[in-house]
């Protein structure tokens, strides 16, 4: 039976100016079984740190200060590393942003897949090689029986990303975390990788967390989207809700500032005033209050909770007042 993942009150901090400051601040969300969830936001918002925390790959001086990550009714943060290694890769797997960094450049790609397979099963290397060839074939690598002996430098960026996907799938996980998995690829290759991920997710019933700063990628791939800003999730809803009737000023401003072929080139592109706050200098109230055109006194002093507004979750004191149900941007 497939199971999802629940994150409750996750907080992650880093040292700064002699104290610890939160870079991921008390976030909660769920990745239901079989669903594709997107986590979008600007660089530095805490997306990748959240992914690393789910895999327990956060390293000192970064520290997980609190929260729970629940998988199959177990808090993976409470498990010792021996216990968690039985889950990492075999139940929860990750596709990394840069395949060249994720792969050993002086080791054949097949050997790297075989190593991953042998870590999680009792089969011998000869049998594991055949599994590796099947995995390469399943992710669309041409002539997999020959490519299994290739080195990373002999393959294109798109093929390397497919190899990384094959390694992630080698343990037959239930949860797949894709951290900016298409960022380093050209548009055509990006499309192919997304189509591949969608096909694999459907065939295997995978739950997927797609982390990206590309709104178009999230819209194409995901069932639901979470919008992250300065370490907080500020809005969560379906793709249609987020893109056609956002209820958080940041989501609205982010969509209005995007550039695509539909824009009127005779008009200036709207931008968000100011800069995202540094982790050690965040506003005392709403994290977006210093850049928000709708901010009032309560926004500068109180921290809004992520609560239901118009059939989705929004962290804004004025969401009901400012945005009517179904209002389009």
- What is the residue whose two structure tokens read 């409470």? 78
User: Is residue 86 included in any domain, yes or no?
Assistant: no
Q: Report residue 26: phi and psi, to 5°.
A: 55, 55
Is the model's pLDDT at 122 over the cut of 90?
Answer: no
User: Is residue 39 included in any domain, yes or no?
Assistant: no
Percent of the chain with pLDDT over 70: 96
pLDDT digits (tens, 9 = 90+) for 124-149: 999 999 999 999 999 999 999 999 99
CA distance 49 to 232: 12
Is the model's pLDDT at 115 over the cut of 80?
Answer: yes
User: Is residue 204 included in any domain, yes or no?
Assistant: no
The pLDDT of residue 153 is 94
Which whole number is the average pLDDT over 82-109?
A: 90
Quick one: which of 288, 248, 226 has its CA closest to 28? 226
Which whole number is the average pLDDT over 306-318?
A: 94
Which whole number is the average pLDDT over 160-188?
A: 90
H or E segment and range at residue 124: none
DSSP state of 236: E
Rounded to two decimals, the pTM is 0.92
- What is the residue whose two structure tokens read 């979008």? 40
Query: 315 falls in which pLDDT band (50, 70, 90)?
Result: very high
H or E segment and range at residue 149: none
For residue 64 the two structure tokens come to 């997980």
The pLDDT of residue 185 is 78
User: Is residue 108 included in any domain, yes or no?
Assistant: no
Which whole number is the average pLDDT over 108-132?
A: 93
Residue pair 328/245 in contact by the 8 Å Cβ criterion: yes
Q: How far is CA 318 from the centre of its chain?
A: 28
Query: 328 falls in which pLDDT band (50, 70, 90)?
Result: low
pLDDT digits (tens, 9 = 90+) for 274-311: 889 988 888 989 999 999 999 999 999 999 999 999 89
CA distance 146 to 235: 47
| DSSP per-residue letters across 264-297 | -TTSPPP--SS-PPPGGG--SS-TTTTT-TT--H
User: Is residue 251 included in any domain, yes or no?
Assistant: yes
For residue 85 the two structure tokens come to 């290694």
H or E segment and range at residue 36: strand 36-40
User: Is residue 205 included in any domain, yes or no?
Assistant: no
pLDDT digits (tens, 9 = 90+) for 40-74: 998 889 999 999 999 999 999 999 999 999 998 89
User: Is residue 128 included in any domain, yes or no?
Assistant: no
The pLDDT of residue 267 is 72
User: Is residue 310 included in any domain, yes or no?
Assistant: yes
CA distance 64 to 53: 7
Query: 99 falls in which pLDDT band (50, 70, 90)?
Result: confident
Domain with 311, as residue range(s), is 247-322
DSSP state of 232: E
Q: Is the dihedral of CA 122, 123, 129, 133 positive or negative?
A: negative
CA distance 312 to 174: 26
Strand 232-238 versus strand 224-229 pairing type: antiparallel
The pLDDT of residue 265 is 65
Number of domains in the chain: 1
H or E segment and range at residue 216: helix 215-221
Which whole number is the average pLDDT over 153-159?
A: 92
pLDDT digits (tens, 9 = 90+) for 221-264: 999 999 999 999 999 999 999 999 999 999 999 998 877 666 66
CA distance 310 to 314: 9
58 or 266, which is more confident? 58
Query: 209 falls in which pLDDT band (50, 70, 90)?
Result: very high
């Amino acid at each position: 039976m497939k199971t999802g993942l629940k994150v409750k009150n996750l907080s992650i901090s880093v040292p700064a100016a002699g104290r610890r400051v939160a870079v991921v601040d008390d976030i909660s969300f769920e990745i239901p079984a079989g669903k594709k969830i997107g986590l979008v936001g600007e660089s530095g918002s805490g997306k990748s740190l959240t992914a690393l925390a789910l895999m327990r790959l956060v390293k000192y001086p970064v520290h997980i200060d609190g929260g729970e990550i629940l998988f199959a009714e177990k808090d993976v943060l409470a498990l010792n590393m021996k216990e968690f290694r039985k889950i990492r890769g075999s139940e929860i797997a990750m596709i990394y942003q840069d395949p060249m960094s994720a792969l050993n450049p002086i080791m054949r790609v097949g050997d790297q897949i075989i190593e991953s397979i042998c870590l999680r099963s009792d089969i011998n290397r000869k049998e594991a090689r055949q599994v590796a060839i099947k995995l390469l074939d399943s992710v669309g690598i041409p002539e997999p029986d020959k490519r299994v002996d290739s080195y990373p430098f002999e393959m294109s960026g798109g093929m390397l990303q497919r190899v990384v996907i094959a390694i992630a799938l080698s343990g037959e996980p239930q949860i797949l975390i894709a951290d900016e998995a298409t960022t380093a690829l050209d548009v055509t290759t990006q499309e192919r990788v997304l189509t591949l991920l969608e096909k694999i997710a459907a065939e295997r019933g995978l739950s997927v967390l797609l982390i990206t700063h590309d709104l178009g990628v999230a819209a194409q791939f995901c069932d639901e989207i979470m919008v992250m800003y300065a370490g907080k999730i500020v809005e969560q809803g379906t793709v249609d809700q987020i893109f056609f009737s956002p209820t958080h000023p940041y989501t609205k401003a982010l969509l209005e500032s995007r550039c695509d072929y539909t824009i009127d080139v005779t008009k200036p592109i709207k931008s968000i005033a100011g800069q995202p706050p540094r982790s050690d200098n965040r506003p005392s109230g709403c994290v977006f209050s210093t850049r928000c055109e709708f901010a009032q006194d309560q926004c500068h002093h109180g921290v809004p909770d992520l609560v239901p507004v118009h059939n989705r979750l929004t962290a804004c004191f004025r969401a009901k007042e400012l945005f009517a149900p179904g209002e389009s941007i």
